[in-house]
Structure 1
Amino acid sequence: MIAVIGDIHGCFNTLVELYTKIVTRYPGIPVYTVGDMVDRGNLSRDVVNFIIANNIQLTPGNHDYMFFHFFKDPSSVFARSWFFNGNETTLESYEKYETDMFLHIDFIKNAPLYYNLPDCFISHAGISLQYEKYLPADYKNNLDLLESFIQNDLRSDRGVLWTRDPLLNLGKLQIVGHTTKPDITLVEDSNSVYIDTGVFLGNKLSCVIVHENLIVETLEEKAHMDDIIKR
């Protein structure tokens, strides 16, 4: 059994409350997040510190990668894209904490782009249905075949950080964020669940509890206004 938290986007106070609900109800449960820790909300640095301190397992989102590339590869497409994707609040949160910033960038750099677990498959945006035509008929028995597509398409609109395509049915529950929904949304055709519920928009931060490819429970925390109101 595991817990998976949706896109956090700098909403630290909301994250702390949701995490407390999770570990109170399910002591010792492994906790994951689908990424987009940073941008838009006010407290990106605090979010990343909390994730590291509590051993929450990250699969990074496109916003995390834009942040990382801005400082490590500033001429890249990721870095240039960050100017148009809510980076101001992230820069403000790290203004006096350069050491933290570079530790957090390394944390993002070293995080896996997906988790293929017995309970489910976790990534930021999901595995696009477009890949089906390149895979053998029995691909569900060997999801390691996805690795080369994931690595080669990091900058592509169909890639695991960016896609908004219909998703490929992987033969197990696929948990994704990136595409904002008002509530946790299960898509039966692809056996996928979308858990980005727009906390930075003032909606809520959500989590699914998963056991053996089934959603056991959903938990949520309404967005705390201190996380999102401009200071």
Structure 2
Amino acid sequence: MPFTAVIGDIHGCIRTLDRLINRIEARYSDVNYISLGDIVDRGFHSLEVTELFMEMKKQGRFRMLLGNHEDMMLDYTGLSAVYAPNAWFGTGGKLTVSSFSRKELDNKLTLGTVTNWDFKPYLEPYQEFFDSAEMYFGYDYPRNKYMFSHAGLGPSNGKVGRVTEYSRRKDYLYIWTRDTEQSQKKHFGYTMVHGHTPVKKVDPQHNPRTPFVNRNKAGELVSVNLDTGCVYGYALSAMVIDDAGDFEFVSERCMD
């Protein structure tokens, strides 16, 4: 069985992603990949990250999870109006429009006249890829069981009322939760592997360049947070899992 490399929030940081994958490929053989979502926005190379993962998916060695930033992007182009007006642009969406349009829409972005109809044709070749992103899935290994999702689930069970800056999807479980690290028991026996909230925000004393491991008082591995804030200048991290369910972390300092 191949190794599985689970990668945290990328946000368009293609140079760092390339270096991370090169390190993983040099250390391990036969690797499949999982992205925990948030591959777009905030950084400058959302298109390049998307194209890389699309090619890996064609090769049958990649699975994509839906992040809140992909959800906002799809809401913008789909005219769903789940999120408040300009919610996506307020969280880095303008850089994604610039990236996917190869700067052709930069003038309209500057003038504030760009519309979802302007952007939609540029996203269309990648629409199926993003539409196929999964909300969550689990996998049972001999020595552990993992549930993968963008944000995990915390004691609030996804009801993140205190995060009120935008209207939320009625079913926003797994993509918006902000308190997964407060969980003290596994999710139906599964360790939650997630990103979404940079570890520096979870614990300011924690090394922001390394994943956050949450164990309860009994020593059980409850959750793992792989968002090590690459787009904020820290690191991009992966959790590499072997066929028994044991793992180690590989991190690459931000190069973008």
TM over 0.5: yes
Residue 161 (structure 1) aligns with: 175
Quick one: which amino acid aligns to residue 5 of structure 1? I
Of residues 75, 80, 83, the one that matches 1:77 is 83
Aligned with residue 223 of structure 2, among 175, 192, 198: 192
Q: How many residues align?
A: 204
Superposition pairs of residues 48-59 of structure 1, within 5 angstroms: 48-55=50-57, 56-59=62-65
1:10 to 9, 12, 22: 12
Matched-pair contact (CA < 8 Å) for 1:34–1:61: yes
SS at match of 2:190: coil
Question: TM-score when scaled to structure 1?
Answer: 0.80
* Maintained 8 Å contact 1:157/1:163: no
2:240 paired residue number: 209
Matching of residues 99-178 of structure 1 within 5 Å: 101-119=123-141, 120-131=146-157, 155=169, 159-165=173-179, 166-167=182-183, 169-170=186-187, 171-178=189-196
Q: Which residue of 1 aligns with 2:33?
A: 31
How far the C-alpha of 1:73 sits from its partner, in A, is 2.2
**Which one is further off, 161-170 or 190-199?**
161-170
| Rounded Cα–Cα distance in structure 1 between residues aligned with 2:194 and 2:121 | 31
Amino acid at match of 2:63: Q
Question: Taking every aligned residue pair, what percent have the same amino acid on both sides?
Answer: 30
Letter of the aligned partner of 2:178 in structure 1? R
CA offsets per residue over residues 119-169 of structure 1, 9 Å max, x none?
42100000232349xxxxxxxxxxxxxxxxxxxxx7259721100123461
Rg larger in structure: 2
Q: Which amino acid aligns with 2:231?
A: F
- Whether the 8 Å CA contact 1:198–1:205 is kept in 2: the answer is yes
Aligned equivalents of 2:23, 2:196: Cα separation in 1? 23
CA distance in 1, matches of 2:139, 2:14: 27
- Distance (Å, rounded) in 2 between the aligned partners of 1:28 and 1:213: 15
- C-alpha separation between the residues in 2 aligned to 1:29 and 1:94? 28
List alignment gaps of at least 5 residues for structure 1: 133-153
Query: What residue ranges of structure 2 are gaps of 5+ in the alignment?
Result: 105-119, 159-167, 200-207
Change in 2 beyond 3 A, CA 1:163/1:213 = farther
Structure with the higher fraction of residues in helix conformation: 1
- For 1:162, give the aligned amino acid: W
> Hey, which bits of structure 1, 4+ residues long, moved more than 3 A?
96-100, 211-215
Q: Is this contact kept in 1: 2:82–2:169, CA < 8 A?
A: no
**CA RMSD, Structure 1 to Structure 2 (Å):** 2.4
1:179 pairs, out of 175, 197, 214, with: 197
- 1:2 and 1:32 in contact (8 A); partners too: yes
Q: Given the two structures, how large is their TM-score scaled by the length of structure 2?
A: 0.72
